[in-house]
Amino acid sequence: MQKTLTTTALGLLAVLGLSGAATADIVLGASVSATGPAAFLGDPEAKTLEMMVEALNAKGGINGEQVKLVLYDDGGDPNKARTFATRLVEDDEAVAIIGGSTTGTSMSILDVTEDAEVPFISLAGAIDIIDPVKPYTFKTPHTDRMACQKIFEDMQKRGFTKIGMISGTDGFGASMQAQCKAVAGDHGIEIVADETYDPKDADMTAQLTKIKNAEGVQAVLNPGFGQGPSIVTRNFRQLAIDLPLYQSHGVASDGFIELAGADAAEGVRLPGTALLVADLLPEGDPQKPVVTAYKTEFEAKTGTSVGTFGGYAHDAFLILTDAITRAGSAEPAAIRDAIEQTKGLAGTTGIYTFSPEDHLGLDLSAFRMLEIKGGTWTLVE
Amino acid sequence: MSELLQFLFSGLTVGAVYALVALGFTIIYNASDVVNFAQGEFVMLGGMITWFAHAQGLPLPLAALIAIAVTALLGVAMNKLMIEPARGAPVVSLIIITIGASIFIQGGTQLIFGKEIHSFPAFSGDEPLRIGGATILPQSLWVIAGALVVYVALWLFFTRTLLGRAVLATANNRLAAQLVGINTSFVMTLSFALSAAIGALGGMLAAPITLTAYNVGIGFALKGFAGAMLGGMGSPKGALTGGFLIGLIEALTAGYVSSQYKDAAAFVVILLVLFFMPQGLFGRKSTDRV
């Protein structure tokens, strides 16, 4: 049995190797978490990448060359991500890698790509990925800290100084909770109640009752994703808490309004990307064409509504194709230099301008403050 | 005062969900001494299938019935295809098989229904009931009532019916049960069908509150298992009490101490109870005649 397996594996490898050598395509690698605990990130990312490669090749590829995408599913496991990154670099000879749906998998991949000097665009949130700047590592999503800053700016405008926080204990919630606590002081905001819930919890009325009774609380912020924020929003209305509720970019999708219920979600504010409000963007907005095209295409192809996370993969692919086109070459070093010179490239998440000192390329304007009104998103300005 | 009442309501809501899951564990355990770790998946299927059938345009009661029936059939299939062929294997092996079944069901659900989170309308609307300054959702009352009804039904089943006693006899000594004319293979099939149906009922009742997705089963199973252990594995009374106790401890800790410690507090109580009463609060003493 063992022997047959090995032989089969060898045979398969040989076939793969042959097919790889026979074509002179541009090979792009990707490792995302299409299954496992981070599947809500990786699944739309994988679908987006497959869709975009297909569309690009149908239009004739980059500079006349077809693009071949080698996509692996690391299941959110950093060890697997490292293995796949090594395989992408050594066996598949990818000229650039997209991926790392989570911060953990991104950190493993960047170890490999920095050594191999292959450009890597991460799809994960943490600022550690690009701070300090590493020569071959870039990322597309805005950071947790930026989301906190955007929310606190809005709170400042409304004159709030004392807020309550209720955060999920999952990686996303815990990381954003820490970032928000770190920058709250800069915006003159004091956190008077700091509660948490497990992402699998069914009821958060106990925590919310505590926040409601906290001295002087003026608004509530809920960093988290998955079903938690929907339940928090429902419980918030159940308790008839008469305070503004802020959610994070983690739930910036139509699914959130549906799950929380339009009544309960009325008046909820969150920092989201242009993608969510494609129809509401003014005609001259540079992001309007790109978000509208992606939204239409993705929704027609998959039958599910677009979300912020798929948009990260969209932008990573866009940055890569733009860089390869400008470089006129698919050599890793040339691609890296071209990415760093990207200026004013409109993606779904924001407008990217990279520099040798900035491998994130976004500022706070990438976030739009959104409010849910009458069961749909509106722009707050 | 209204604060305490709100914490109690929160605890009862969550506790009723745990109790329903815990009750599902009791039948299979009583029939075979096997702790069925796929119980959480039955709960998940109850919610997911109801959502799916309802989304196809079926009325909610019909969708719920379909979910319970389909899940019960899956329970039977699980017994026929996975547990029965391994008959004679030690209980630990059977438990490991149920873990495999759990992973299989979760993967299958993910492929068929996708990875999104779903919900369907609450049975009696979303308008919270206000009692003494605190609020509770009508759906919570449904879940609490569901847990109580299942408990009474199980209690009657195990103490008042011949079939229920046959289930207990099968667990006690399969060979002796066969000798007195009990069809033990039928008893096993029946207990899987009933366990699955109870799980699905719980999942269906809870889904409008907890929301549902392919991966919610493990969380349910863990808390339900904890509830069943606390109350005493195999005892319906224990499952009911254990489930509610854990829910209440969590809510009161979150309310009065800190939400950071609520899971820890519940597990400390379980550890203490099991330390002093290894059979749980209402567990049967195991006496082996040599």
Q: Based on C-alpha coordinates, what's the Rg of chain B?
A: 19
Which pLDDT score, from 0 to 100, does residue A18 have? 45
* Separation in Å, CA of B16 to nearest CA in chain A: 11
Tell me the per-residue pLDDT of A185-194, one tens digit each, with 9 for 90 and over.
999 999 999 9
Judged against a pLDDT cut of 70, whether residue A8 lies above it is answered with no
pLDDT score at B6:
93
A196 pLDDT above the threshold of 50: yes
User: In this predicted structure, what is the pLDDT of residue A21?
Assistant: 41
Whether the Cβ atoms of residue A53 and residue A70 lie closer than 8 Å to each other? no
Q: What is the mean pLDDT of residues A298-326?
A: 91
Does B111 touch chain A if contact means CB atoms closer than 8 Å?
Answer: no
- Quick: pLDDT tens for A323-341: 999 998 889 999 999 999 9
Interface residue A36 vs chain B (CB under 8 A): no
From the list A280, A283, A289, A308, the residue with the least C-alpha distance to A141 is A308
Interval A229-243 mean pLDDT? 93
Helical spans, DSSP H, in B173-216: 174-179, 184-210
What pLDDT, on a 0 to 100 scale, did the predictor assign at position B263? 85
pLDDT for res B43 = 95
CB-CB under 8 Å, A231 with B126 = no
Beta-carbon neighbour count of residue A169 at 10 Å? 18
Q: A27: pLDDT confidence band, cut at 50, 70 and 90?
A: very high
Regarding predicted confidence, which is higher, B141 or A170? B141
Per the CB < 8 Å rule, is A209 touching B115?
A: no
Measured between CB atoms, does B126 come within 8 Å of chain A?
Answer: yes
Q: Kindly tell me if the per-residue pLDDT of A166 is higher than 60.
A: yes
Which pLDDT band holds residue A5 (cuts at 50, 70, 90)? low
Q: How much is the average pLDDT of A336-348?
A: 93
Distance (Å) from the C-alpha of residue A209 to the closest C-alpha of chain B? 7
Per DSSP, the three-state class of A148 is: helix
ipTM of the complex: 0.86
How is residue A72 annotated by DSSP? E
pLDDT score recorded for residue A19: 45
In this structure, are residues A304 and A68 in contact, taking their beta carbons and an 8 Å threshold?
A: no
Query: Could you tell me the end-to-end alpha-carbon distance of chain A, in angstroms, rounded to an integer?
Result: 66
Prediction pTM value: 0.83
Close Cβ partners of B30 (under 8 Å, ≥ 6 residues apart): B158, B167, B168, B171, B191, B234
Class of domain A24-143+291-366: alpha beta
Mutate to test the interface with A, among B2, B6, B44 (most CBs of A within 10 A): B6
> CB–CB of A23/A57 below 8 Å?
no
For the segment A5-10, the average pLDDT, to the nearest whole number, is 54
* CB-CB neighbors (< 8 A) of A167 in chain B: none
Which of B10, B43, B217, B257 lies closest to A231, judged by CA? B10
Distance CA A45, CA A83 (A): 20
End-to-end CA distance of chain B: 56
Chain B residues lying within 8 Å of A258, measured CB to CB: 119
pLDDT band, very low/low/confident/very high, at A179 (cuts 50, 70, 90)? very high
Residue-range domain boundaries for chain A: 24-143+291-366, 146-278+367-379
- Per the prediction, chain B carries an average pLDDT of 91
pLDDT digits (tens, 9 = 90+) for B199-240: 999 999 999 999 999 989 988 998 999 999 999 988 899 999
A:78-117 residues touching chain B, CB 8 A cutoff: none
Residue B155's H or E segment, with its range, is helix B138-160
- Establish if A164 touches chain B: CB-CB under 8 angstroms: no
Contacts of A166 in chain B (CB under 8 A): 259
What's the mean pLDDT in B105-122? 90
Q: Report the percentage of chain A scoring pLDDT > 90.
A: 67
Contacts with A161 (C-beta within 8 Å, 6 or more apart), sequence order: A188, A189, A190, A218
A22 pLDDT exceeds 50? no
Q: A246 by DSSP, 3-state: which? A: strand
Yes or no, beta carbons of B255 and A226 under 8 Å apart: no
For chain B, domain boundaries: 25-215
Can you tell me the mean pLDDT for A197-210?
A: 91
B209, β-bridge pairs: none
Q: How far apart are CA A89 and CA A29, in angstroms?
A: 8
- Helix ranges (DSSP H) in chain A: 2-22, 39-58, 78-90, 103-116, 144-157, 171-184, 205-212, 227-238, 254-260, 262-265, 288-302, 308-327, 332-340
d(CA B206, CA B226): 18
Find out whether the peptide bond into B61 is cis, omega within 30 degrees of 0.
Answer: no
**A120 band by pLDDT with thresholds 50, 70 and 90:** very high
- Tell me whether B255 touches chain A (CB under 8 Å): yes
Reported as a pLDDT band with limits 50, 70 and 90, residue A20 is: very low
Contact (CB<8Å) B119/A259: yes
A255 Cβ under 8 Å from any chain B Cβ? yes
Q: How many helices (H) and strands (E) does chain A have?
A: 13, 14
Residues in B closer than 8 angstroms to A206, CB to CB, are 6-7, 10-11, 250-252, 254-255, 259
| B117 at interface of A, judged by CB pairs closer than 8 A | yes
Nearest-neighbour CA in chain A from B258: distance (Å): 7
Instruction: Indicate yes or no: CB of B255 within 8 angstroms of CB of A209.
Output: yes
Both tokens assigned to A273: 């990307």
Compare CB distances from B117 to A201, A239, A255 and report the shortest one's residue. A255
pLDDT digits (tens, 9 = 90+) for B13-41: 999 999 999 999 988 888 888 899 999 99
Is B33 an interface residue toward A (CB < 8 Å)? no
Mean pLDDT, residues A55-76 taken together: 92
For domain A146-278+367-379, which CATH number applies: 3.40.190.10, 3.40.50.2300, 3.40.800.10, 3.40.50.620?
A: 3.40.50.2300
Query: Nearest-CA residue of chain A relative to B258?
Result: A195
d(CA B2, CA A205): 12
- How much is the pLDDT for A184? 94
Does position A291 have pLDDT exceeding 60, yes or no?
yes
Confidence of residue A17 (pLDDT cuts 50, 70, 90): very low
